[in-house]
């Protein structure tokens, strides 16, 4: 029983983390269904403020759909997904998405490397990652050049799904610049942390119509089960 196992025992040796995949299966299914209907290929994941779990959410759902070989099932030509780190915050905590030292998106945009050099294969099959690269302080300048649009166009032809890990909407105007490159956006809201007013502001700033949907992270009920079912 997965729920009775300790966290260290949930992950089978060399195999996917079944609990993690199950956690994101509903989410990626709904996202892919919606993207398939609209032939969209680039998805941005953001939040109103920092600390809401957007990087983990983006990494989790990308890894889950890659492990499930879901892209082909949803009519994609390529079955590989790409995770692009556009967020100067911490990288994904999932060890399988660990980034090796090397060039990243910034170096690519500066013309210091080729696309293939910047893209790294992860420990998850069918999942590649394009790390942010160095130096992070030049990232705001580089995303405002035409080079990034060109890179995204190239990536569209090579990957079944491109997931952009974006900064928080209310923390940086970079998000508004980067959001234009995504076909659709997902807003991560952390339950019990994000004030409704800030969520409203984030939606207004980007435009509600740009959002595919909202993901409520850390959702939990404070009520005991016996009461929960009676209300």
Closest to other proteins by CB, 135 vs 213, is 213
Closest to other proteins by CB, 26 vs 173, is 26
For residue 162, give both structure tokens. Answer: 């491109």
Closest to other proteins by CB, 120 vs 201, is 201
Pick one of 14, 39, 100, 231: the residue that binds other proteins (CB under 8 A): 231
Residue where the block lists tokens 């234009």: 180
For residue 37, give both structure tokens. Answer: 């209907």
DSSP-assigned states of every residue in 114-151: -HHHH-EE-SSTTEEEE---S-GGGHHHHTTSTHHHHH
How many C-beta neighbours within 10 Å does residue 142 have? 16
Does 131 help bind other proteins (rule: CB under 8 A)?
no
Residue list 20-59, contact with other proteins (CB under 8 A): 20-27, 29-31, 33-34, 37, 50-57, 59
Residue list 107-126, contact with other proteins (CB under 8 A): none
Does 221 help bind other proteins (rule: CB under 8 A)?
yes
CB 206 within 8 A of CB 51: no
Cα–Cα distance, 42 to 159 (Å, whole number): 10
Does 75 help bind other proteins (rule: CB under 8 A)?
no
Closest to other proteins by CB, 87 vs 151, is 87
Closest to other proteins by CB, 16 vs 133, is 16
Work out the angle between the directed axes of helices 54-67 and 18-37 (0-180°, nearest 10). Answer: 90
- Residues in contact with other proteins, shown as a per-residue x/- string from 165 to 204 under the rule CB under 8 A: ---------------------xx-xxxxxxxxx-xx--x-
**191 alpha-carbon distance from chain centroid:** 18
Does 224 help bind other proteins (rule: CB under 8 A)?
yes
């Amino acid at each position: 029983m997965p729920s009775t196992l300790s966290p260290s025992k949930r992950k089978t040796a060399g195999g996917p983390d079944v609990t993690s995949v199950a956690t994101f299966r509903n989410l990626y299914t709904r996202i892919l269904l919606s993207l398939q209907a609209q032939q969209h290929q680039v998805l941005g994941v953001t939040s109103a403020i920092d600390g809401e779990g957007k990087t983990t959410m983006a990494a989790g759902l990308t890894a889950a759909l890659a492990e499930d070989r879901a892209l082909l099932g949803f009519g994609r030509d390529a079955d590989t997904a790409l995770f692009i780190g556009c967020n100067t915050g911490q990288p994904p905590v999932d060890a399988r998405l660990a980034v090796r030292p090397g060039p990243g998106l910034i170096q690519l945009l500066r013309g210091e490397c080729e696309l293939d050099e910047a893209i790294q294969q992860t420990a998850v099959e069918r999942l590649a990652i394009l790390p942010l690269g160095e130096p992070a302080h030049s990232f705001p300048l580089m995303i405002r050049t035409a080079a990034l649009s060109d890179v995204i166009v190239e990536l569209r032809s090579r990957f079944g799904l491109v997931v952009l890990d974006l900064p928080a909407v209310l923390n940086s105007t970079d998000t508004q610049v980067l959001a234009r490159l995504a076909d659709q956006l997902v807003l991560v809201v952390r339950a019990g942390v994000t004030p409704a007013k800030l969520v409203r502001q984030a939606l207004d700033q980007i435009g509600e119509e740009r959002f595919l949907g909202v993901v409520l992270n850390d959702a939990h009920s404070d009520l005991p089960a016996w009461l929960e079912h009676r209300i």
